[in-house]
Amino acid sequence: MDALETRRSIRKYKPDIPSDDEIREVVRAATHAPSACNLQVAEFIYVSDPEIMQQLAKVATGKVTWAPACLIGIYDSRFVRERSAHLQSLSAAVENMLLKATEIGLGTCWMAGFVGDDKIRRVLSIPAHFEIACIVLIGYPDEEPPRPYKSPVEQILHFNKYERQRPHLNLSIDPKHWAPEEVAEYRRRIFSVYNKRAELGILSDTQFDRLWREIETLLTPVMPREGHICEVHAWDLRPVERLVQALPAGVGRVTVADSIEENLRVAKELFPDCATAAIGPDYTFDLDDDSIDLALLINKLEFDPRPGPLLEKLAPKIKKGGKVLVAALGRGSLYHRLIGLRFALVRIRDVYEHNPFYKIGPFSFVRERELGDLLTHHGLRPIEVRSCDVGLYREETQAPRRGRFFGIMKFFVELVPVKSKECILILAEKS
Ligand SMILES: Cc1cc2nc3c(=O)[nH]c(=O)nc-3n(C[C@H](O)[C@H](O)[C@H](O)COP(=O)(O)O)c2cc1C
């Protein structure tokens, strides 16, 4: 029971390599697992040779370098295919291994997020009739991650017949098709994987730096030195980090507002001087009325299913003459077109698979005019509008290993130097 509760996915390891005997013990646990027809189609390749680890990092995923060693889970795909029984058998074996590893003080991370099966096959001499199912990182843990969000048993257990007990996960990429509680549920589950790793922003650190420089030029003249700043939908905590750095100690206060409890808990942990405020499913803000001098919505509105009701509830919390700064990905930008083309050419099945923004959920690009009108409608008069080339287009296409589509795009991007105004910035004033 102990290992069941204490096992965590470990993404930071000490450099020491587990001994062969420890690995034998772990894999012995796999042999105790049930398997379809007892055919025992699952096998494991233990890789601890640093050179082979490097090759795997190159052809499969850079995540391999988090650990000093890994186990590659493969199964003979010719048998017991019905209901993916071969995969079910392998999965039972893997879970046994994870629990045993935890029990003997090793950390693991089960991974299906990798590419290059044929290359992995070549590197590890895996025969063609084996499917590669997973890579399990293994080593001595160098972190103690908190327990991520797990659904309560009442929500996943049905007696005698199926009864819906928790919000569905929607398939659509368009936020308009999502109820706010569905978005909250998606984020509640996925946030705990990425939140701590500060990987939730849609922009890389370099791109965010570019955006923040532009934001600073807009904010400097209006930044309330002694006022109350509220970061709304604070899943990407970088704006909070910058605000905290920008405000002299003891001057002004920052509130982090979000609809996910877990997210607020992480914010509180990382920024103990900031207040937190819950945003309810109907966008009620747990804040005093008329207390905000500056509200920030940095790449948030395009991910919200109901930007209108959000602004309707937020506006009364802003002082007269107070400001709102909105940054959003613009419709019509080259980046928007590139993503549109990608959606058309690559099979994007749902809000998660192959979606560049899967870590945040559904999204839609915004039109500058519509955004301006929306703000105006809620008594927030735009006083300055800008756009900013944050480098999304260029860097998406130049990122290594993004698949054939991005390879082709990269070729064209290198031929034609492009500037794209990807982010719209609107500073508005409460009238
Ligand atoms: C089939 C499967 C695939 C996974 N793939 C990845 C992955 O590619 N990268 C990663 O960092 N974690 C991966 N994980 C780990 C999950 O993110 C992790 O189990 C989840 O966030 C819950 O955290 P916990 O394992 O600490 O309970 C995978 C887990 C499973 C079961």
- CA–centroid distance, 110 to ligand 1, in Å, is 6
Centre of ligand 1 to C-alpha 51, Å, is: 25
**Residue having the nearest C-alpha atom to atom 7 of ligand 1:** 111
Domain boundaries, the chain: 2-139, 205-430
Q: Which two tokens stand for residue 141?
A: 């843990």
Instruction: State the average pLDDT over residues 67-95.
Output: 97
pLDDT reported for residue 198: 59
- Residue closest to 377 by CA, chosen among 303, 422, 324, 304: 324
Is pLDDT larger for residue 408 or for residue 429?
Answer: 429
272 lines ligand 1 (CB under 6 A): no
Q: Is the CB of 110 under 6 A from ligand 1?
A: yes
* Greatest Cα pair distance in the chain: 72
**Most ligand 1 atoms within 8 A of CB, residue of 70, 71, 108, 110 to mutate:** 110
Minimum CA distance residue for ligand 1 atom 4:
111
Task: Tell me the sheet residues that pair with 47.
Answer: 70
Determine if ligand 1 sits within 6 Å of the CB of residue 8: yes
Strands (E), 299-369: 318-329
According to DSSP, residue 131 is labeled E
Helix (H, G, I), strand (E, B), or coil: what is residue 62?
helix
Q: Is 149:188 a contact under the CB 8 Å cutoff?
A: yes
Nearest residue by C-alpha to atom 26 in ligand 1: 8
Asked whether 149 lines ligand 1 (CB < 6 A), one says no
Rounded Cα distance between 97 and 103, Å, is: 10
Backbone angles phi, psi at 245, to 5 degrees: -65, -35
DSSP assignment of 280-316 equals PTT--BSS-TT-EEEEEEET-GGG-S-HHHHHHHHGG
User: What is the dihedral sign for C-alpha 237, 240, 242, 244?
Assistant: negative
Q: Judge if the beta carbon of residue 9 lies within 6 A of ligand 1.
A: yes
Report pLDDT digits (tens) over 346-381.
888 899 988 888 988 999 999 999 999 999 999 999
397 pLDDT tier (thresholds 50, 70, 90): low
Q: Encode pLDDT of 85-139 as tens digits.
A: 999 999 999 999 999 999 999 999 999 999 999 999 999 999 999 999 999 999 9
320 Cα: distance to centroid of ligand 1 (angstroms): 47
Instruction: State in Å: Cα 263 to ligand 1 middle.
Output: 19
| Topology match between the domains 2-139 and 205-430 | no
Give the length of the chain.
431
Q: Which of 368, 400, 373 is nearest to 387 (CA)?
A: 368
Residue type, 276: T
- C-alpha of residue 195 to centroid of ligand 1, in Å: 14
| Contact 5 CB / ligand 1 (< 6 Å) | no
Q: Whose CA is nearest to atom 15 of ligand 1?
A: 110
Our answer on whether the CB atom of 111 is closer than 6 Å to any ligand 1 atom is: yes
- CB–CB of 300/257 below 8 Å? no
Residue of 234, 202, 191, 174 whose CA lies nearest to 395: 202
Q: Which residue has the tokens 């994987």?
A: 193
Strand 423-430 with 42-47, pairing: unpaired
pLDDT tier, 70 (very low <50, low <70, confident <90, very high otherwise):
very high
pLDDT for the residue 401: 56
Task: Kindly report, residue by residue over 135-186, the tens digit of the pLDDT.
Answer: 999 999 999 998 888 999 999 999 999 998 888 889 999 999 998 889 989 9
Q: How many angstroms separate the CA atoms of 331 and 368, rounded?
A: 8
111 Cα–ligand 1 center, Å: 6
Predicted confidence at residue 417, as pLDDT, reads 66
Between the CA of 352 and the centroid of ligand 1 the distance, in Å, is 14
Confirm if 363 and 300 have CB atoms less than 8 A apart. Answer: no
> 205-430: what CATH class?
alpha beta
Residues facing residue 108 across a β-bridge: 9, 138
Q: What are the structure tokens assigned to 142, written together? A: 């160098």
Q: Which has the closest alpha carbon to 219: 117, 120, 295?
A: 295
Fold of domain 2-139: NADH Oxidase (3.40.109)
Mean pLDDT for the stretch of residues 299-318: 94
Q: Is the CB of 194 under 6 A from ligand 1?
A: no
- Spell out the residues 6+ positions from residue 363 whose beta carbon is closer than 8 angstroms to its own: 173, 175, 302, 303, 329, 357
Q: Is the CB of 109 under 6 A from ligand 1?
A: yes
Residue in this structure with the two tokens 């984020």, named with its chain if needed: 187
Closest atom of ligand 1 to 11 CA is 11
Distance CA 395, CA 135 (A): 28
Provide the β-strand partners of residue 410: none
Cβ proximity of 363 and 303 under 8 Å: yes
CA 124 to chain CA centroid, Å, is 31
